[in-house]
Structures are given as C-alpha cells and as structure tokens.
Chain A
Amino acid sequence: MTQSTLTHIFLMGVALTCLFPIFWMIRCAFMTNETVFVDKALIPHHLNFGNFAVAWTKGNFAVYFLNSVVYTVCVVGGIVLVSSLAAFSFSRLKFPGKNIIFYMFVAAMMIPLPGSFVALFVMMNKLHLINTRFGYILCMINVGLSMSILLLKTFFDKMSRDLEDAARIDGCGKIGIWWNVALPLARPAIAVIVIFNSLNVWNEYILATLLLGDSQLMPLQRGLMVFQGANSTDYPVLMAGLTMAAIPIVVIYLFMQKHIVKGLSSGAVVG
C-alpha cells in the first residue's frame, strides 16, 4: 500500500465520521415512531414524509423558523450598519476620547459572554426589554460588534485617501464618503462579517434562553430545546426539526465556503 492510499483512507475515515451523524439525522427524520426504533437499515424500508409537516405545524417550527430568519437579518444588518459607521469614524475622524472608546471595544472582545450575561440580564430587565424582539436584537448586535469594528477599522486604515479627497472635491460630506467610497471598497471585509455573524446568530442559544421566555418569540435553537423537553420520545419529528435547523446553514456554508475559509485563514495568519 502506498503512502498516498493510506492518507486517503485516513482522510476518508474522518470525512465519513463528519458526514454520517448528519446523514443519520436526515434518515431518521423520514421514519415513523414505530420503525425508528427497530429498522436500522441505511435506507429505511418505508419512507415517511409527514414528520416535516408535523414539526412545522404542531411543533411550532413555522414560528421558530421565521423568528430565526427575522433575527438573523436584523442583527446582521444592524452589525454592518453600526460597525461600518463606527470603524469609519475611528479610522478617519478626530474626536475627544477616540482612543479610549476604541480600546473599550477591543477590551470588550476579551471578556467572554458568560462573564457578562448576569449584568446584561439585569440591565435588560431594568430597561423592560426582556421578552421583546427588540431587546434580543440589540444584545445580539452588541455581541458581534467588537470583532466587526476591529476588522473594518484595519481595512479602512489601509484604504487610500486619494479616493476620499476626490469625493470631497465632488461635494461629498462625511456620510457621503462613507456610503459612496468606504462601503463599496470594504465589500470583502463586509462579506466576512455577514457570513460569520449569520452563522453566529442562527446558532445562538444562550441569550435566547435568558431573554426570551415567550414561545412566540423564540428562535429555532431555543425552540428545538422546548420541543425536545415536551416530546422527548418523538424522535422522528425531533430529527425533522433538527434537519430544518441544520440544512439552511449548511447550504449557506456550501455556497459561501470560499469566503469562510478566506476569513478564517486571514485571521489565523494575522493572529
């Protein structure tokens, strides 16, 4: 056996362990409550397509799914808006306390979320934002902000000032330069921010647990736990719910994987 065959066997083995549990989840989503415990064939003998409909309607997954979509869109939009404005100001404007405020954002990155969510919960309670969509969106924007500001600021710092001067001569104000020059040029960095924050918001669990108690407001991950708690033995429908939570993110990943690899790699090499 050559070395290259051994390498392939090793890589294939790991790839299989990556894919098989996901395949098993999808497979079990197509079974009934009776067959799922006894039929261990790779492709089940009787396919049952009803679980997805049951999960969507009776399992309340229609609500969870839409909530997740709304949260992801709002949070990612908010992060891009706030972080690009903030990073542009940190990079180009002069104002008192600029460095202190910027280092506060950087320092916030060092503090792990579990270290701060008690204070966050108390604050949201005082602001009467517990159990509201708005409160959850605000908190999630805050979670993604530091990293995005840092990334965009390094990007803007490297950007040439000639284009800005040209825009200024053409009569652009500061906001105009941000909108017409800085944002279009920062598109690669914004793509990385959008992808990573989308993954993060879609998969987020802890803040949704703390801040949202009403099942009409819950995103998918939280909804899955509620469903599992209430129907712990209905495995086929649970697997259908898991599939619905996993497939969108995997599909987005497959389309965007070049950007993801690029973002991670630059992060690792810059270190």
Chain B
Amino acid sequence: MHLIGLRNYQELMSDNLWWDSMGHAGYITLIALTFQNALAFALALACDREIRMKRFYRVVFFIPPVLSEVVVGLIWNWILNPEMQNGQHIGLLNHLLYTSGFPQMVHNWLGDPKTALTAIAIVNSWKGFGWGFIMLLAGLQTIDKQLYEAARVDGASAWKTFTNVTIPMMLPVILVVVILTILGCMQVFVLILTMVSEGLVNHTDVPVLRILSAMTGTNRFGYACAEAVNFGIILVCVSFITKKLSDKAKQV
C-alpha cells in the first residue's frame, strides 16, 4: 500500500473538468427544480378538484417515471435523431418541424454543444415530473377544505387563497419534493450515456460519469474515490441545508 496523503483531493480542487461536470449537473437540476416542479405543481392543482378523468391523468402522468432511464434515453435519442435520408429527416422532431413550416428550426439538438445539455435537461424533466405531481397532489388532498371555505367567506381572491392558504400548508411537501429533485437530478447520467455521442463528452459530462471514467477508463481508483467522496459530501450538505431551511420555514 502506498499512501499519497491528500494529493488526490488537491488535484481534484483544481480539476476544471470535474467542476464543469458539477456545473452541468447543477444546470440539469436547476431546470428540473423550476420547469419540472412548476409543471408538476400546476398539474397537481388542476387535478385537485372535481374534474372528469382525474384517475386517467393520475395514471398517465406516472408512466414516464416507471420507465427506465435507458429506455427513455434511447426513445428520445431516436426522436431527436439529426440525420437525413433521401431528403427526409429521420428524427421525428426535425421531421415535424420541417413539415409544419419551421424548417429554420430544424437542428441537431443532441449534437450541438449549445443545445445538448438543455435537451437532456428537458427529457429528464419529462421523465421526472410525475413523481412531484403524485406527491404534491397527495399533499393538496390533505389540506382541510374548510380553510378554502373560510378564505372564500373572507372574500379572498383565488390568487390570495393560493399564496396564503395553499402555499403555507404545502410547504413541507414542497420541500420534500425539492430535496428529492436535487438528489435525483445531480445523479443523472444514464440519460446522458444514451443520448449523447462520445464527441460531446466535455460539454455534457456529469460527476457520476467522471467517477466512472476515472475508474474504468484510466484505472485511477484513488482519484475516483476522491471524486466520489467530494460528490457525496456536496449532496449530503445540500440536502442538509434544505432540511434546515425547511425546519426554519415551518416555525414561521
């Protein structure tokens, strides 16, 4: 056994590829926190009332989350395919854009470093919003209907009721969803493996892929361990901070 002290950690601190990959995962998480959770919340609000086909929606919205990341990634890889054959676009998205009159929008979505990460983040949100939807809907259904009744009697507008009744009552559930979203999205990597080709690796790398490549690519197990510990500590800290914030918010 040969000990090298903290040299792996020193190298990690100045490893731009590693911090870039952390930024990419952060970007995917940010899109999930805003776009995906806002969508989930809007859907939950829409379903939390007497409307027809409520059960149908609830079942359908949770189908993408039960599919595996490999399946989701390969389906979308096929839909976003940039190639052409016999003057026709192979990928469904480009074909639809072309035939519906937006030929200037046709794009190599996964091949362009500028759009690849966003495309992945959106597919990730497509796969993930069902979790948030089910949890938020369950939370909404525990709110006492008398509170809404009281707000209505007091003459509160729909918006006032939302900000003063729904949001405070939902805060604990919202924070659970936020923590789970952060933990889940920071660890996304199978979608990237399945959707992006090797050439773009530096533009779409995420921490888990860096750890894997240090392990299997270059056989540097010590360095991979340093990366893994660093990553684990960051995730534990983030969920700890969010938990603390939620405890504070509950007291107010």
Interfacial residues, chain A to chain B (CB-CB below 8 A):
4, 7-8, 10-11, 14-15, 17-19, 21-22, 24-25, 28, 37-38, 40, 110-119, 121-122, 199, 202-203, 205-206, 210, 221, 224-225, 228, 235, 238-239, 242, 245-246, 249-250, 253-254, 257, 260-261, 264-265, 267-269, 271
In the assembled complex, which residues on chain B have CB atoms less than 8 Å from the CB atom of A122? Answer: 221
Residues of A within 8 A of B66 (CB): 199, 203, 249-250, 253
Q: Which of A18, A113, A254 has the most CB of B within 10 A?
A: A18
Q: Does B68 contact A (CB under 8 A)?
A: yes
Classify the secondary structure of B's interface with A: helix
- Contact yes or no, B46 A203, CB < 8 A: no
Q: Answer whether A8 and B90 are a contact pair too, CB < 8 Å, given A18-B64, A21-B76, A24-B79.
A: no
A7-B190 contact in complex given A25-B75, A121-B215, C-beta closer than 8 Å: no
Known: A18-B63, A114-B208, A117-B228. A242 touches B74 (CB 8 A): yes
6 more A-B contacts (CB under 8 A) besides A10-B43, A11-B47, A261-B62?
A19-B60, A22-B67, A112-B186, A117-B211, A206-B190, A257-B62
Chain A interface mostly: helix
Given known A111-B236, A205-B190, contact A268–B139 (CB-CB < 8 A): yes
Would you list 25 pairs from A and B whose C-beta atoms are within 8 A, ordered by A residue?
A4-B51, A7-B51, A11-B43, A14-B39, A37-B85, A111-B236, A112-B231, A112-B232, A114-B208, A115-B228, A118-B215, A121-B215, A202-B68, A203-B66, A203-B70, A205-B70, A206-B190, A210-B216, A221-B71, A225-B194, A249-B67, A261-B134, A264-B135, A268-B136, A269-B139
Residue of B nearest to A40 (CB): B95
Nearest residue, chain A, Cβ from B208: A114
Contacts of B194 in A (CB 8 A): 225, 228
Chain A residues near B183: list those with CB within 8 A. 112
B82 contacts partner chain A, Cβ-Cβ < 8 Å: no
Stretch of B10-18, B113-121, B148-156, B172-180 that contacts chain A: B172-180
A203 to B78 Cα, complex, angstroms: 20
For B211, the chain A residues whose CB sits under 8 A away are 114, 117-118
Chain B residue nearest in CB terms to A16: B60
Contacts from B to A (Cβ < 8 Å) = 39, 42-43, 46-47, 51-53, 56-64, 66-71, 74-76, 78-79, 85-86, 88, 90, 92, 95, 126, 130-131, 134-136, 138-139, 142, 172-173, 175-177, 183, 186-187, 189-190, 193-194, 207-208, 211, 215-216, 221, 224-225, 228-229, 231-232, 235-236, 239
